[in-house]
Amino acid sequence: MSDTKRGGALTAVDVLLVPDDAAQARAKALNAALRRDFPPGFAVDETHQAHVTVLQRYVRSHALDRALQAVARTIAAYDLAAVSLRARGVVGAELGTPPGTLLASIDFAPAPELQVLQTALIVALRPFTAWDGTAAAFLALPGEPAVGDATVAYVERFVPAHSAERYSPHLTFGVGKREAVEDLEAGPFAAFEASVSAVAVYRVGDLGAARQLLRIWPLHPSACSAA
C-alpha cells in the first residue's frame, strides 16, 4: 500500500538509468561474492534492478501517470544514449543496514550531463512531488520487513542532499560484511566505461532498491526491459 499521510497516498519513485549488459554483469558478480559471505544480503534480480539513480522523490499516487508523462517529456530532450559513465572504484555506506554490514556500490566519476538532467527532472516533477512519506510509500513484498527509517529519510532528503553538486552517480550491488566491503574499497579495481541502455522509473524498496517497474524507455531498438 502507498503512504496516506498529508493529502493522500504517496509513492516513492526512482528515476534511474539502466546500465548496459556488461555493467549489470559486473554488478551481479560483485553481488554474488558478497552474498557468499553474507547470504542475507539481497540478490541483484528482477525485484532489485541494477541501476544508476538520477532522482528519488515522493510522488502523489493519484498523479503518478502524469508524473511519468512529465519524465518522458523531460528525457526526450536529452541524448542519454551518448552518456558514458566511468566506474572508478567501490564505496561502502550505511543506510540502515544490519550491524556490521555496509551497502556496497560501484562509484562513477561525476557526470555533469546527469546533473543537468536531474535539475530538469526536479522541475518537471515539482507539481507532483510530496513530502512526509512513510514506509507505506515503498514496496515490500509479503513476508519482508517494513522499509527502514533510513530509507524513508533518504528519499525525503534526496533534494538537496544528493542533488546538484552533491549528486554522485553510483550503482549499488549489495549488502556485505563491513570487512568485505572495505576490502573491495581498498583493493584493486578494474575501471570501466558503462553506457545507458534505458531510462526507467521504479517504485523504491528498502535500502533504495529499484523494486517495481513503473515505466521504461529503451534507448536502443535492441534494448530490452531488464526489469
Peptide linkage before 218 cis (omega within 30 of 0): no
Q: How far apart are CA 75 and CA 72, in angstroms?
A: 5
Coil/strand/helix, residue 226 = coil
Contact 217, 17 (CB under 8 A): no
H or E, element range at 101: strand 101-108
Give the up-direction half-sphere exposure of residue 35: CA atoms within 13 A in the CB hemisphere: 15
- Domain membership of residue 70 as a residue range: 10-215
Q: Where are the alpha helices (DSSP H) in 98-148?
A: 112-125
Total structural domains in the chain?
A: 1
Reading phi first (left if > 0) and then psi (alpha if -120 to 50, else beta), residue 6 is in left
- 225 in any annotated domain: no
pLDDT grade, residue 125 (50/70/90)? very high
Q: How far apart are CA 225 and CA 227, in angstroms?
A: 5
Residue 200 CB neighbours (<10 A): 23
pLDDT of residue 8: 81
C-alpha cell at 100: 556490521
Question: What confidence tens digit (pLDDT) does each residue in 155-208 have?
Answer: 999 999 999 999 999 999 999 999 999 999 999 999 999 999 999 999 999 999
CATH of the domain at 120: 3.90.1140.10
Q: Which residue has the higher pLDDT, 2 or 68?
A: 68
Q: Which residue has the higher pLDDT, 221 or 24?
A: 24
DSSP symbol at 137:
G
Over range 63-86, report the average pLDDT: 97
- 170 in any annotated domain: yes
Task: Note the Cα 216 to chain centre separation in Å.
Answer: 14
Contact 6, 140 (CB under 8 A): no
- 220 in any annotated domain: no
Give the up-direction half-sphere exposure of residue 136: CA atoms within 13 A in the CB hemisphere: 13
pLDDT of residue 7: 54
C-alpha cell at 57: 522523490
- 194 in any annotated domain: yes
- 4 in any annotated domain: no
- 5 in any annotated domain: no
pLDDT of residue 221: 53
- Mean pLDDT for the chain overall: 93
Question: Residue 101 above 60 pLDDT?
Answer: yes
Share above pLDDT 90 across residues of the chain, in percent, rounded to a whole number = 91
pLDDT grade, residue 1 (50/70/90)? very low
C-alpha cell at 175: 549488502
Over range 38-49, report the average pLDDT: 94
- 109 in any annotated domain: yes
- Per residue, the 3-state secondary structure of 1-35, as one string, reads CCECCCCCCEEEEEEEEEECHHHHHHHHHHHHHHH
Coil/strand/helix, residue 47 = coil
- 137 in any annotated domain: yes
pLDDT of residue 227: 36
Question: Residue 2 above 70 pLDDT?
Answer: no
